[in-house]
Amino acid sequence: MVPFGARLHAALDARGPLCAGIDPHSSLLLDWGLSDDVAGLERFALTAVEGLAPHVSVVKPQSAFYERFGSRGVAVLERVIAESRAAGALVLLDVKRGDIGSTSQAYADAYLDPASPLASDAITVSPYLGFGSLAPFVEVASRVGAGLFVLGLTSNKEGPEVQRSTTDTGEPVAARMFAHLRALNAGVRPLGSFGAVVGATVGDVDEALASGLDFGGPILAPGFGEQGGTAADIGRIFGSLTVLPSSSRGLLRAGPSVAGLRDAAVRTNDELRAAAGA
């Protein structure tokens, strides 16, 4: 398998930087005139795939919104993954898993091993049981050519309590996480497979954190669009780094029309390219 970083680099060139979140919030199901049940979930999610997946580099379903319907919801998630990939998009499954030992291994096998029906091109993980606890994820991702996006600087108000606190050497915890990513991506071209999640609404970051962002892998930037992050913010915070601005509700409100979803994706990608000077 070609490593995730190389596949992502090619996808960004071909389809632009936008990452489309397919998150079936109950409020969005109702906005689309659908019932908040498995039938509504399936109609919503597969319509979103039809409208978005052929036109973006990455599709990012949030697992929790499918899991809330139990096994039948997870079955819909499996279809979202398969049909998004069939449409040419990479799938980044937003699960934010993080545990230790055999449990981390089981999560890695569930979400990254090609033998699993939930296998995705990349997943989100949490390093805050210690970066070393992610070793099973790193091993499986490296073996099968998948990617990881490690929580770095998230935009939720509770995040700074941990992420911006300092380590025993005085560096911010998030900067330590970026240093681990830099080591994993060392020497890899054109792009490493191990990325970070950094919110598009985190605001200005200090020099220690800003310098750490150049770790050789991609950055997932949620909070773009309806949550307040703009194309200008992406350029200001990240400069020339490889960034996937992620929008969910901002795109999904263009439904339930497939054409409306397609037009929203194309328009947003054009805005991001223009802001980057591409």
- 96 catalytic, yes or no? yes
CB 45 within 8 A of CB 22: yes
Question: Which long-range contacts does 235-241 make (Cβ < 8 Å, 24+ apart)?
Answer: 235/275, 235/276, 237/198, 237/200, 237/202, 237/204, 237/205, 238/198, 238/213, 241/213, 241/214
Distance between CA atoms of 182 and 195, rounded to whole angstroms?
Answer: 9
Q: Which of 25, 96, 176, 249 is catalytic?
A: 96
Distance between CA atoms of 222 and 228, rounded to whole angstroms?
Answer: 10
Distance between CA atoms of 176 and 193, rounded to whole angstroms?
Answer: 18
Question: Helices (DSSP H) in the chain: which residue ranges?
Answer: 4-15, 26-31, 38-52, 64-67, 71-86, 101-112, 135-144, 160-163, 173-185, 207-212, 231-238, 249-252, 258-276
Upstream peptide bond of 190 is cis (omega within 30 degrees of 0):
yes
Q: Cite the active site residues.
A: 96
